[in-house]
Amino acid sequence: MTDQINISLVIPLLDEAESLPELHSWIKRVMNENSFSYEVIFIDDGSKDNSWQIIENLSKTDPSVKGIKFQRNYGKSAALQCGFEACKGDVVITMDADLQDSPDEIPELYRMITEDDFDVVSGWKKKRYDPITKTIPTKLYNWAARRITGIYLHDFNCGLKAYKKAVVKSIEVYGDMHRYIPPLAKYAGFTKIGEKVVIHQARKYGRTKFGLNRFLNGPLDLMTVAFMGKFGKKPMHFFGAMGLLMFIIGFGFALYLGIDKVFIDRSSRLIAQRTEFYIALTAMIIGSQFFLAGFIAEMIGRSSATRNQYLIEQRINSDELGN
């Protein structure tokens, strides 16, 4: 291997012992045919089979193979984050270990990053071999993600993606955020996001590791990504606006009731006996709570260690700045 690594392959896995030797041989063939310098980082997410033993054996015969083993299962996002922290390649490509993602896509993904200057290239499994219980929710998630993030990708959840090294070193993936790495990249300032139709193959070994919890976690994570991207550094802009709107609505109702009672219909029933009074009271209370939530969020943000951490793309004479 040369000191300069063209491609880092980050591959999270869970109980994929049967597919690992075949996947490694496939990757090695593609890399050698294209004369890429590369590293393959397998992240064992708490496998119960002999996946780790196979990774150890592969690393003995191929120095490009590296491995990280979790003590227990932490999830795909944690595995990707560890892989991103460890990778050294100029282009970082993620893929699944179940042989459903084709390593033959690697050269074109690499070209789109290095020559077309995309920051992120996301795979699009246009023809899928998944069951309908997985494809229909995926279509709904992709539609919602496009509307909320403004990134018009067909397949946010495709595991086969390529990134500039700067992208993966600038974002943090946690929870189940692996579904929404393109929005994380966009909110970090990497806006050149492309898409490539990729081959999707039927699962050859084992079974899928994703359960019904993805139906709930997916939309919640999407809302988190959208909120943190837009208001992570300025939560009061969201909570304050919502609080002001609710308080104005409540105060408007209260003012209307007061004017109506004093100047228009003095013989009418008491204000406290009218439905509008409780609408006004509830709206003002909710508005005040939004304000308090905004202030608390701002106070937490001021004490955060990352409050003044910003992504800097380039510097000129940086050693002289601030002197």
pLDDT tens column, 141-189: 788 888 888 888 888 888 899 999 999 999 988 877 888 899 889 988 8
Q: Could you tell me whether strands 193-197 and 120-124 are parallel, antiparallel, or unpaired per DSSP bridges?
A: parallel
For the cut 50, the answer to whether the pLDDT of residue 287 exceeds it is: yes
pLDDT tens across 8-51, in order? 999 999 999 999 999 999 999 999 999 999 999 999 999 999 99
Position 267 scores a pLDDT of: 67
Which amino acid does the sequence have at 81? Q
- Which sign does the torsion angle of CA 43, 45, 46, 51 carry? negative
Q: Which two tokens stand for residue 197?
A: 């139709």
Contact 203, 99 (CB under 8 A): yes
- To which residue do tokens 């084709």 refer? 102
- Which sign does the torsion angle of CA 69, 211, 99, 96 carry? negative
Domains of the chain: which residue ranges? 7-231, 235-302
What is the three-class DSSP state of 69? Answer: strand
Q: Which two tokens stand for residue 141?
A: 């998630």
> For residues 233 and 209, which has the higher predicted lDDT (pLDDT)?
233
Q: Which two tokens stand for residue 146?
A: 């496009």
Contact 23, 103 (CB under 8 A): yes
Using a 10 angstrom Cβ sphere, with 0-12 exposed, 13-18 middle and 19 or more buried, the burial of residue 49 is middle
CA distance 106 to 92: 10
Alpha-helix runs per DSSP H in the chain? 20-33, 51-61, 76-86, 106-114, 132-149, 165-168, 181-187, 214-231, 235-259, 275-302
CA distance 256 to 265: 12
Output the average pLDDT for the chain: 84
pTM greater than 0.95: no
> For residues 315 and 322, which has the higher predicted lDDT (pLDDT)?
315
Contact 227, 154 (CB under 8 A): no
Using a 10 angstrom Cβ sphere, with 0-12 exposed, 13-18 middle and 19 or more buried, the burial of residue 192 is middle
Within its chain, how far is the Cα of 116 from the centroid?
23
> For residues 218 and 105, which has the higher predicted lDDT (pLDDT)?
105
CA distance 33 to 322: 49
Other beta carbons within 10 Å of 44? 24
CA distance 240 to 233: 14
Contact 112, 194 (CB under 8 A): yes
Position 21 scores a pLDDT of: 94
- Which sign does the torsion angle of CA 115, 121, 123, 124 carry? negative
Q: Which two tokens stand for residue 209?
A: 């590791």
Using a 10 angstrom Cβ sphere, with 0-12 exposed, 13-18 middle and 19 or more buried, the burial of residue 171 is buried
Q: Which fold has domain 7-231?
A: Spore Coat Polysaccharide Biosynthesis Protein SpsA; Chain A (3.90.550)
